[in-house]
Structure 1
Amino acid sequence: MRQGPEGNVTRGTTHPNRLRRMDRWIAAELGPALRRSTDRPLAVDLGYGAAPWTAVELLGRLRRVRADVRLFGVEIDQERVAAALPYEGPGLGFVRGGFELPLPVPGDGRPLLVRAANVLRQYPEDGVPAAWARLRGRLAPGGLLVEGTCDEIGRRHAWVALDATGPVSLTLAARLASLATPSDLAERLPKALIHRNVPGEPVHALLGDLDRAWASAAPYAPFGPRQRWLRAVALLAADWPVAGRRARWRLGELTVPWSAVAPRGGPLAGAPQGAGFRAG
């Protein structure tokens, strides 16, 4: 029997406000479930890194939706847990652990949210399905696992949302003023897709079509990058099942169902699909 936390120690790189784009999407997408919950909702920031900023910030953003949310930061490195303990407070705690999520709460301790940002990027692609399954198995009914990657200061993000049955959607998000072409986001694709940005794979086709839509939207550039992005996403939506409302596109986001970008081969080709995207 394996002893100790499940997983590997990550690099631990973290900066304040790094995950704001992901947090904003989570708060909007998970908001209805947070408000409906008859229990006090529980969230997890898995692999928060060498400093607890991202866990503290996530809790603050979720509490704008539901004031009694509790959150645990889970880290496999005991020194990182010790460094975070001074930041504990009502509804915020830090524990040592990994994919098993050893949450010290009464009852079954199942979280409504597990966020794993910049964790699986350091694993091999064939390790992703088992990690996803382990974490999905811990979710409370109606919960989400949000797993993805961003750059060091949060300008470029990509993440997969999963429910208890499988992957649901892929979201790309960017600070539009710093985006030369949308395919620049390819370097931040989550581990499940980053090696799939090659001809013949759906995610490669998505990024190529988004670049072409961005080029076609060049006449909107004088009105600012947001207007150009809105036009590009509208053009893309003619051929791709773009989800969500225009209000979300304005934030520099693009979400498509997982089924539109799922790998055609390899360990994730046969991954079960989630119940469907909840357009926010």
Structure 2
Amino acid sequence: MGTVTRGTTNPNRLRRMDRWITAVHGAELRRADDAVAVDLGYGAAPWTAVELLQRLRTVAPRTRVVGVEIDPARVAAARPYEREGLAFRHGGFEIPLPERPLLIRAANVLRQYEEAEVAEVWARLCARLAPACADSRGGLLVEGTCDEIGRRHVWVALGPEGPRTVTFATRLGSLDRPSDLAERLPKALIHRNVPGEPVHAFLRDFDRAWAAAAPYASYGVRQRWIRAVRDLTADWPVTDGVTRWRQGEVTVRWGALAPRG
């Protein structure tokens, strides 16, 4: 289910997303007896799936990764890279696995779709996640967009119940102002960056906080970012703390940025 993407990818492109996943979802993966992660729509080359396995296994050594691609030729090209814990399958949004994965990563996949199609795709993918239980929040879907070399990235995190948070992540040295990240908003938000929509108000306030934090630039761009995010917390439900902010990240509850109407 779905359509073939352009398939462009580069090694290390998804490092920021992977770093966040290992930090916030690593414990769930470690607790599982058979943790399965899916790299959905990995593209014309298998680099992102190979890297996902390497990064997840630093926090959860038993994790298996399955790369899923809708283009059979790409699956055939990836098969020589299979190894213990890494496999490739032909498929799409139906996620053709017998088990329900603890993680589905879909980076730069929905960019080519219409905004109206996003909710249905999200619902289909969330339904394939491992369910929540007494000691687990269940699986995690991470869906977002980044630039070609992974300097700027925005993603939505969803659980079996639906969207939870939005994360903005950047290489701080490449940033002029936080609203530069608007061009990498995921499909659910990119057309909502207009006056009257919450995501537009958030980026406006972020730019104002960034400008007010300019004196902290003498201590480095990281300190300026931390100060700007700290100021944002007065009006926006930021869910993370300084440890993540130092990485050039900030995560906000989905409900605060969700489109109106």
TM-score (norm 1): 0.90
Would you say 1:239 and 2:227 are equivalent positions? no
The residue number in structure 2 matching 1:263 is: 259
- Give the partner amino acid of 1:215: A
| CA–CA distance in structure 2, aligned partners of residues 62 and 40 of structure 1 | 13
The residue number in structure 1 matching 2:8 is: 13
1:87-98 correspondence to structure 2 within 5 Å: 87-98=81-92
1:131 deviates by 0.4
The residue number in structure 2 matching 1:147 is: 143
The residue number in structure 2 matching 1:277 is: none
Could you say what secondary structure the match of 2:128 adopts? coil
| CA–CA distance in structure 2, aligned partners of residues 164 and 258 of structure 1 | 14
- Give the partner amino acid of 2:162: G
The residue number in structure 1 matching 2:134 is: none
Could you say what secondary structure the match of 1:186 adopts? helix
| CA–CA distance in structure 2, aligned partners of residues 72 and 90 of structure 1 | 11
The residue number in structure 2 matching 1:181 is: 177
Q: Deviations over 1:2-46 (max 9, x none)?
A: xxxx00000101000000000000111111211222x21000000
Name the count of aligned residue pairs: 255
Identity of aligned residues (%): 71
The residue number in structure 2 matching 1:200 is: 196
1:111 deviates by 0.3
Q: 1:252 aligns with which of 237, 248, 254?
A: 248
1:68 deviates by 1.0
- Give the partner amino acid of 2:93: F
Structure 1 residue ranges without an equivalent (≥5) = 1-5, 266-280
Q: Deviations over 1:27-70 (max 9, x none)?
A: 11111211222x21000000000100000101111101111111
1:222 deviates by 1.6
1:243 deviates by 1.0
Give the conservation status (yes or no) of the 8 Å contact 2:10–2:47.
Answer: yes
Would you say 1:45 and 2:39 are equivalent positions? yes
Q: 1:102 aligns with which of 93, 96, 107?
A: 96
The residue number in structure 2 matching 1:25 is: 20
Q: 2:116 aligns with which of 98, 111, 126?
A: 126
TM-score (norm 2): 0.97
Runs (4+) off by over 3 Å: none
